[in-house]
Structure 1
Amino acid sequence: MSQARFACLQCTRTYDWLELRYACDCGGLLEVKHNDPALRQLPDKAELRLTSRKPYDRSGVWRFREGVLPLPESMIVTQNEGQTTIYESAALNQWAGHSNLTLKHEGENPTGSFKDRGMTAAVSMAKRLGMPVVACASTGNTSSSLAAYAARAGLKAIVFLPAGKVSQGKMAQTLGYGAKGMAIRGDFDDAMQIVRDLANAGRVYMVNSLNPHRIEGQKTIIWEMLQDRNWHAPDWIVVPGGNLGNTSAFGKAIDEAYEWGWITKKPRLATIQAEGANPFFRSYTKDFSSLEALTAETIATAIRIGYPVNFPRAVRSIINTNGVVTDVTDTEIMAAKTAIDHAGIGCEPASAATLAGVRKLVKKNIIGPEEDVVLVLTGHMLKDPDAILKVQTLDCTEVDANVDAITKALDRV
């Protein structure tokens, strides 16, 4: 029997994990706490499940389900999320001034971003709780993921997006899966407040990362990476920072893996923000004494957030892993993106903040040039093709349609 509970990060109160709530009565954020001695053997069970033909066993989330959300199999809404690749690239090592980088590409998930890991958990919970309408605020990726998983579950999806600040590719995905979109005359933080108000009024089930079940799904990025490395933890894990759901989830995943004896050391977390959307970095420079909202602006739309709602969880993750936070400019982000794209891997701009951040941290001697570093790429290259075209012209030579002309053109290339 599951021994999971909701626990408040701010006070000592706990709740049934199946209760419909997003926060403690004191206002503090909630997390799912697992207290089952059998979880120490979960890696062995997860390994066996890889030989199964059942979708929820193959899933990079649900193969760990006892440590995520112990739901009945009939309630699981899955699209075979996870199972993402870990890449090596000598060219990217050289670009970053490093010798031991690998990149886990969450853009290989069904809708093209890491959000699918959290969404499979949140939408499965909506189904379990009998909530017919699910909603989110989004800069694009969350809405695409919600729309797809809600469609699979037969639920109605409503997404609130900042008007004019979402890439057309992400918007097309969202609408294509059948969600109802509402463009808010404001920024992401305005949209987020609307969803919170509607959820508190019982009108919708909120699936943003304030929902603690989202964090449970996203933490499996780390567990799957560790499984693929035979549970040998790296020295560093580097992640982009926007609303800080992944920073929160990664810290929780590391703490639990260490507590349950899956790993013998804790990797250090490095959260990288865009310079134009860096409230977490600014707080870090003040020892997290406060968080000041700002009007966010960056080409990396997936992390263009001025007031991250997961701040308390993320602070704990950085402190518990002896981690660091830094920021990089849009120019640095796009230079890193070009390097990743030209390595044949590809990613959206927010993902490239990780490589730009590693280069900066190596130059500052914070990350050693030979330390074992895993970068998490959070979104697919096609999530934001407009960003590529803003900084690169189409390199295409116009020639006559005959072999002689083409041969001469090739000689000039």
Structure 2
Amino acid sequence: MRAYLACFNTVCGAVYPVTEVIYTCPKCGGLLETRYEGPSPEAWTLKQVWRERRMSNHPIDQSGVWRYREMFPFLEEDRHVITLREGNTPILDTVLASSYASVDRIRFKHQGFNPTGSFKDNGMTAGTSQAVRLGMKRVACVSTGNTSASMAAYAVSAGLEPIILIPNGNIAFGKLGQALDYGAKTLQVDANFDQILALVRVLAEKLGIYLLNSVNPFRIEGQKSIVIEMLDQLDWEVPDWIVVPGGNLGNISAFGKGARELYEQGFITRMPKFAVIQAAGASPFYEFMKAPHEHGFTPNTHPETLATAIKIGDPVSWPKAWQTIGAEGVVESVTEQEIADAKAVIGRSGIGCEPASATTLAGVKKLRAAGKIRADESIVAVLTGNVLKDPDYIYRYHTNQLKDPQEQALTGTYANPPVVVANDFAAIAKLLGD
């Protein structure tokens, strides 16, 4: 199949070769997406091929991304693929979380099982492979944490130099520690995510560095694999709702693109509805969707949330996310307290996740209470990151020390604090109830 880059702005519609190092349309400044033309195998054939690849020991078949490579054939040669066996993440049931949200059943697609602990690996394997294909030597990103950890791991695996710019003082140490351990050149900048992204785009262009933020269309191609793998795991039974946290909105954009392509090619017979959940202090997309045609999209210049993975005020992918939400989807925001309690409930389910992930459960609970989701509808919520990404948050919640960005104390509704005891058998036995 022929792959090419196309401007997402339908008024422009310019096209470019996939070998051109660009991230937005040179003609109009619009976002780009990767498209394909030409014959492809029938859906039923590919479903069988993808299942058979699960038994293969070939590295790209063991990848839960490249196993589905027929859906994003932008690479001419498999030798360019850089994989850490990403994907292959489970869908988990939890009765406790379902009860908490007042729905019959909610299942979690847990991307925290990825090699670096977040969904970013699905996109980064594709973006890094494209960097190798283009002959790049250095790659860069601005990150609130997960992107930097993922990019550093994939870059060094490919023999590339990773350069990371992060907001000074606004990153969870678990994520920063990953980037440092993988050997990334890390710069802490006194600015927020959106300001640094503008800076790094200039640096990438002037210094010949390949940019691997979600504005990179190949990142979106890799992230499509999450929804493809999800539906494969569900035996192609489409859930009524797929619920995703909303930060830079690359994930929801990728999910929408992947689901549309699966529908158009006959893999599924209907489209799911999508829900995007943002933190109330960093919710420009939620505010926009209240009345999208009245004032246009307005960035939040001072986003604030303890869910650092989605602390983004000017999400670059909002036009693609808007298309994905469409007429039947929904965007909601949740408070810091709602996020913290939902995260604790997920933890009590034996699953665990980073704070930003818990917006999905908090959002489902809120949407159910508002009557926007029925109790009997099938729901798959995406948990984007591992529970150990932000351990300080967990400790502060369970010891009733957690405060929101305005320094207001949050309630440890489901707190489970450690108990200090003497080194005394009788005292411990009494505490444990014999």
Shorter-chain TM band: over 0.9
1:402 to partner: Cα distance: 4.4
Per-residue Cα deviation, 1:263-315 (whole angstroms, up to 9, x for no partner): 00100000000000000000000125511111100010000000001111111
Tell me the residue number matched to 1:311: 318
Given the two structures, how large is their TM-score scaled by the length of structure 1?
A: 0.97
Q: Distance in 2 between matches of 1:399 and 1:244?
A: 47
Tell me the residue number matched to 2:367: 361
1:336 aligns with 2:335: no
Task: Evaluate the alpha carbon distance shift between residue 39 and residue 218 of structure 1 in structure 2; reply closer, same or farther with a 3 A threshold.
Answer: farther
Q: Distance in 2 between matches of 1:328 and 1:399?
A: 38
Aligned-residue Cα RMSD (Å) equals: 1.3
After the TM superposition, which segments of 4 or more aligned residues of structure 1 sit over 4 Å from their partners? none
Tell me the residue number matched to 1:218: 223
Q: Distance in 2 between matches of 1:18 and 1:40?
A: 28
Q: Distance in 2 between matches of 1:352 and 1:36?
A: 41
Tell me the residue number matched to 2:297: 291
Q: Which structure 2 segments of 5+ residues have no match?
A: 400-415
Q: Distance in 2 between matches of 1:395 and 1:332?
A: 19
Per-residue Cα deviation, 1:346-376 (whole angstroms, up to 9, x for no partner): 0001000000000010111111111000000
Q: How does 1:121-140 map to 2 (within 5 A)?
A: 121-140=126-145
Per-residue Cα deviation, 1:142-169 (whole angstroms, up to 9, x for no partner): 0000010011001000000000000111
1:241 to partner: Cα distance: 0.2
Task: Answer whether contact 1:39 1:260 (CA < 8 A) is retained.
Answer: no
Q: How does 1:13-412 map to 2 (within 5 A)?
A: 13-25=14-26, 26-41=28-43, 42-71=46-75, 72-287=77-292, 289=294, 290-294=296-300, 295-319=302-326, 322-393=328-399, 395-411=417-433
Task: Evaluate the alpha carbon distance shift between residue 56 and residue 238 of structure 1 in structure 2; reply closer, same or farther with a 3 A threshold.
Answer: same
Tell me the residue number matched to 2:8: 9
Given the two structures, how large is their TM-score scaled by the length of structure 2?
A: 0.92
Three-state SS of the structure 2 residue aligned to 1:4 is strand
The amino acid that maps onto 1:115 is: K
Task: Answer whether contact 2:161 2:184 (CA < 8 A) is retained.
Answer: yes
Task: Answer whether contact 1:258 1:264 (CA < 8 A) is retained.
Answer: yes
1:15 to partner: Cα distance: 1.2
1:202 to partner: Cα distance: 4.6
Number of residue-to-residue matches in the alignment = 410
Q: Distance in 2 between matches of 1:398 and 1:390?
A: 16
Q: Distance in 2 between matches of 1:61 and 1:269?
A: 21
Per-residue Cα deviation, 1:75-132 (whole angstroms, up to 9, x for no partner): 1000000000101111111000000211000011000000000000000111110100
Task: Answer whether contact 2:334 2:362 (CA < 8 A) is retained.
Answer: yes
Q: Which structure 1 segments of 5+ residues have no match?
A: none
Identity %: 48
Task: Answer whether contact 1:103 1:375 (CA < 8 A) is retained.
Answer: yes
Per-residue Cα deviation, 1:296-351 (whole angstroms, up to 9, x for no partner): 000100000000011111111111x7211010001100010000011100000100
Task: Answer whether contact 1:288 1:315 (CA < 8 A) is retained.
Answer: no
Q: Distance in 1 between matches of 2:208 and 2:51?
A: 40
Task: Answer whether contact 1:167 1:384 (CA < 8 A) is retained.
Answer: yes
